[in-house]
Structure 1
Amino acid sequence: MTDCLFCKIVAKEIPATVVHETARTLAFRDVNPQAPTHVLVIPKGHYENAAVLAEADDGLADDVLKAADAVAVQEGVAEAGYRVVFNTGPQAGQTVFHVHAHVLGGRDLHWPPG
């Protein structure tokens, strides 16, 4: 998509601090972190939200989760614990309509998140 912020990051048209990359995923630091570790993991192809990604049924959702775990290990938060969050739809707080997993860690994460 030509007007999608995350597609532009994948295309290297907009800079991002990339921390992990595979053939099908890209992970980069959130510009407005909500925890000491806050990394976004996206598929390189455009999928609007988690529901659309799940329907793709080509193993890509699994790749995104594997990348999220790899980021948690790399960032040193895997052992203590981390959260993976997908916001799906405006009422859930999704503001960029390219599916993305938030990997959050590095502090106690209370429930409910609010």
Structure 2
Amino acid sequence: MAGDPAHPDVIYRDDRCFVVRDINPQAPVHLLIIPNMPINGLDYISPAMEATMGHIFVVAAEMARREGVTLSGYRLVVNNGAAAGQTIAWPHVHLLGGRELGAMG
């Protein structure tokens, strides 16, 4: 799925990223915002990718509005590396909301 903006489960797409629902949701709203450009990990993000990475957060805010979680609140998560819970190498942002998520840590 990562890197496949033509996949039929895509609920949003533009020239920089696409959005799908997580297949293993951890909240009533659990979306993945995935950049179109191949990135091997957060440690490989360069200044040339700054506009795309910032755009992902703009899209996350728009998706939160569309999903109706802006008033109640939502969480954005980026995992980097196995110890952080990253299960696919392609960096992406999780948008979680729709219930009380509690404190992290």
How does the TM-score come out when normalised to structure 1?
0.82
Asked whether the equivalents of residues 16 and 28 of structure 1 are also in contact (C-alpha less than 8 Å), the reply is no
Q: Residue 99 of structure 1 is aligned with which of 83, 86, 91?
A: 91
Identity %: 34
Partner residue of 1:62?
54
Please state if 1:83 is matched with 2:75: yes
| Match of residue 110 from structure 1 | 102
State how far apart, in whole Å, the 2-side matches of 1:41 and 1:24 are: 10
- Which of residues 3, 6, 24 in structure 1 aligns to 2:2? 6
Q: Could you tell me how far 1:97 is from its partner in structure 2?
A: 0.6
Distance 1:52 1:89 in 2: 12
Q: Which runs of 5+ in 1 are unaligned?
A: none
Match of 1:34 in 2: 26
Which stretches of structure 1, 4 residues or longer, exceed 6 Å deviation after superposition?
none
Opposite residue 44 of structure 2, the aligned amino acid is V
Amino acid at match of 2:92: H
Q: CA deviation at 1:58?
A: 3.6
Tell me how far 1:49 sits from its aligned partner: 2.6
Q: Which runs of 5+ in 2 are unaligned?
A: none
**Aligned residues of 1:35 and 1:106 also touching (Cα < 8 A):** yes
Deviations 1:30-58 (A, max 9, x none): 00000000000011011123343364444
Deviations 1:7-39 (A, max 9, x none): 2x22x3xx4522221211100100000000000
Cα RMSD between the aligned structures?
1.7
Post-superposition Cα deviations, 1:82-109, rounded to whole Å, max 9, x if no partner, equal: 0000000111000111111000000001
